[in-house]
Amino acid sequence: MGFLFSLLAGKGGGISAIVVAIAALIGYAKIVRPHEWVEKEATYAAVTGPMTISVKVGRRRTEEYKLYGVAVSPDDEALKREAEAYIRKLAAESGKLTISYQRKRPTTAIVTTWDGNTDLGHALIRYGYARAVGKTLTYRVAEAFARREGRGMWRQKIQGFVVPEWDDCPVVHQSNRGVGVVLTDIDSRMPDRHIYRDNDRVTWGHETSHGIASRLRMAQDGFRAGNGTTVKTTAGLDVFKSTGRENAFYVLLGRSIRLTEPDVTLADVARAVPRSLRGRIYNLYLVQQQRDWNDTPLYVFDEWVAYTNGADVRYDEGIAGRDEAVDHMVEMMAYGLTLATMTDDPKLEDFARWQALRAVQLFGIAEDYDSDRGAATIHAMRTAADAERWRAEVREALGDEWTQMTLGF
Ligand SMILES: [Zn+2]
Cα 206 to averaged position of ligand 1 atoms, centre (Å): 6
Cα 293 to averaged position of ligand 1 atoms, centre (Å): 13
% of the chain with per-residue pLDDT over 70: 88
Report the pLDDT averaged over residues 346-370.
90
Indicate if 130 and 254 belong to the same structural domain: no
Note the pLDDT tens digit of each residue in 315-332.
Answer: 989 999 999 999 999 999
Indicate if 139 and 227 belong to the same structural domain: no
- Could you tell me the pLDDT band of residue 30, with boundaries at 50, 70 and 90? very low
Residue range of the domain that includes 396 = 167-407
Instruction: Examine residue 26 and state whether it is found in any structural domain, yes or no.
Output: no
Instruction: Examine residue 342 and state whether it is found in any structural domain, yes or no.
Output: yes
Indicate if 235 and 330 belong to the same structural domain: yes
Indicate if 153 and 175 belong to the same structural domain: no
Low-confidence winner among 151-155, 284-288, 373-377, 398-402 (lowest mean pLDDT): 151-155
Q: Quick one: pLDDT at residue 13?
A: 39
Cα 208 to averaged position of ligand 1 atoms, centre (Å): 9
Cα 211 to averaged position of ligand 1 atoms, centre (Å): 10
Q: Is the pLDDT of residue 351 over 90?
A: yes
Instruction: Examine residue 95 and state whether it is found in any structural domain, yes or no.
Output: yes
CATH number of the domain bearing residue 122:
2.40.50.90
Cα 74 to averaged position of ligand 1 atoms, centre (Å): 43
Q: Quick one: pLDDT at residue 33?
A: 60
Indicate if 119 and 76 belong to the same structural domain: yes
Q: Is the pLDDT of residue 338 over 70?
A: yes
Indicate if 68 and 186 belong to the same structural domain: no
Q: Do residues 357 and 349 touch, judged by C-beta distance below 8 A?
A: no
Of 128, 157, 186, the domain-final residue: 157
Cα 210 to averaged position of ligand 1 atoms, centre (Å): 7
Q: Do residues 209 and 182 touch, judged by C-beta distance below 8 A?
A: no
Cα 231 to averaged position of ligand 1 atoms, centre (Å): 12
Count of domains in the chain? 2
Highest mean pLDDT among 22-36, 49-63, 203-217 belongs to 203-217
Q: Quick one: pLDDT at residue 81?
A: 85
- Could you tell me the pLDDT band of residue 15, with boundaries at 50, 70 and 90? very low
Report the pLDDT averaged over residues 35-52.
87
Cα 283 to averaged position of ligand 1 atoms, centre (Å): 14
Q: Do residues 342 and 269 touch, judged by C-beta distance below 8 A?
A: yes
Q: Whose CA is closest to 72, among 120, 129, 112, 127?
A: 129
- Whole-angstrom distance, CA of residue 396 vs CA of residue 361: 22
Rg (CA), the chain: 26
Report the pLDDT averaged over residues 211-235.
84
Cα 119 to averaged position of ligand 1 atoms, centre (Å): 33
Cα 399 to averaged position of ligand 1 atoms, centre (Å): 29
| Helix, strand and coil in the chain, % to nearest 5 | 50, 15, 30
Low-confidence winner among 80-84, 89-93, 154-158 (lowest mean pLDDT): 154-158
Indicate if 151 and 176 belong to the same structural domain: no
Cα 215 to averaged position of ligand 1 atoms, centre (Å): 15
Cα 254 to averaged position of ligand 1 atoms, centre (Å): 20
Note the pLDDT tens digit of each residue in 229-287.
Answer: 899 999 999 999 988 899 999 999 889 999 999 999 999 999 999 999 999 999 999 99
